[in-house]
Structure 1
Amino acid sequence: MTLNHSEKEAVIREVHRLFAVAERYFNRSFPLPDVSFRRSGKNAGTAFLQQNRVNFHPVLLAANKAAFFSDVIPHEVSHLITWHTAGKRRRVKPHGPEWQAVMQHVYGVSPSTTHDFDLSVLGLTTFNYRCGCQTIALSVRRHNNVKKGRTYRCRRCGENLVFVKNSEAT
């Protein structure tokens, strides 16, 4: 699943449209960012603040176009707008109140920090780990870190993740 030229152009137009919305809201201009389309693990999108660039995962974008336009693109653009309005002068949390305000007040989007896209389209190798409440698939990188002694905790229950030895790498 790949993006064609017109699909990429539609994303770039949406980024530019969202910047224009922010310019009207804040009554000031912002430099338009570069937009790239590169695979980036499980990340749907990434904002590179000091480079004034956003990257979108082309495979996840192709499989989830509507969600990208309604949530992911505004999410990443909000990071850049937050950087331009508050982050250059002081350190702000990536999903802190300033970013949340841009999501809600400028774009009218609920400030969600994660996506729940089906990642099977990526064909990533994962390893199953358990905690007290769920099974979590860790990437090869994190699995190798565990083998070197690193521990990971479940964000939901706080327990350490334990490798499920009978699991197959997927």
Structure 2
Amino acid sequence: MKTLRLPIALQQAVMRSLREKLAQANLTLGRDYPEPRLVYQQRGTSAGTAWLDAYEIRLNPVLLMENPQAFIDEVVPHELAHLLVWKTFGRVAPHGKEWKWMMESVLGVPAHRTHSFALESVRRNTFPYRCQCQQHQLTIRRHNRVVRGEASYRCVKCGEPLVAE
């Protein structure tokens, strides 16, 4: 797999965002939480993930390059909020009331659970499935689980089972 070289200025902007939001949280919460490790290894369609036990934020370098300001303004605080919630409250629902409070009241960022980035550049093989209201694209992993009879999926909008086209 080819490694994507991120411009130093972009890495610095991401780190600056992380440090500013962490300082804001530490001040608001009266804490001194350490700076998490930043890793640019997230793959697939996820913009980022927070690894709680490793106290690490993994960012998708391809989506970062394509959406730099949104990462700085939204994705970095989103993942930082997961780590801060874990440090403050322990294990709770990933996007529950504690996370929403951390995002909005502490970090001052709207609490959006998912991103709306274009995914053509990071989407691998997908398979078309359909429900009553729309078409879905399942990853090869989910498609194979359906084929093997290990899983079935439902539409989050209409609740109907997804059927291969």
Superposition TM-score tier, normalisation by shorter sequence: over 0.9
Contact 1:2 1:59 in 2 (8 A): no
Structure 2 residue matching 1:120: 3-state secondary structure:
coil
Q: Report the Cα offset of residue 75 of structure 1.
A: 0.5
Q: Which residue of 2 aligns with 1:59?
A: 62
Between the aligned partners of 1:33 and 1:147, the Cα distance in structure 2 is 40
Q: Report the Cα offset of residue 37 of structure 1.
A: 0.2
Q: Which residue of 2 aligns with 1:155?
A: 156
CA deviation digits over 1:4-56, x for unaligned, max 9? 22212221221121111101001110011000001321110100111110000
Between the aligned partners of 2:123 and 2:95, the Cα distance in structure 1 is 28
Structure 1 residue matching 2:73: 3-state secondary structure:
helix
CA deviation digits over 1:69-120, x for unaligned, max 9? 1211110000011111111xxx310000000001000122111111111100
The alignment's TM-score, normalised by the length of structure 1, stands at 0.90
Residue in structure 2 matching 1:19, options 15, 19, 22? 22
Q: Report the Cα offset of residue 122 of structure 1.
A: 1.4
Residue in structure 1 matching 2:80, options 77, 99, 107? 77
Contact 2:17 2:73 in 1 (8 A): no
Say what the alpha-carbon RMSD is for the aligned residues.
1.2
Give the percent of matched residue pairs that are identical in Structure 1 and Structure 2.
Answer: 42
Q: Which residue of 1 aligns with 2:92?
A: 92
Which amino acid in structure 1 is aligned with residue 45 of structure 2? K
Which segments of 5 or more consecutive residues in structure 1 lack a partner in the other structure? 165-170
Aligned residues: 161
The alignment's TM-score, normalised by the length of structure 2, stands at 0.93
Contact 1:2 1:62 in 2 (8 A): no
Structure 2 residue matching 1:47: 3-state secondary structure:
strand
Q: Report the Cα offset of residue 123 of structure 1.
A: 4.5
Contact 1:33 1:52 in 2 (8 A): yes
Between the aligned partners of 1:26 and 1:123, the Cα distance in structure 2 is 39
Contact 1:128 1:135 in 2 (8 A): yes
Between the aligned partners of 1:160 and 1:92, the Cα distance in structure 2 is 29
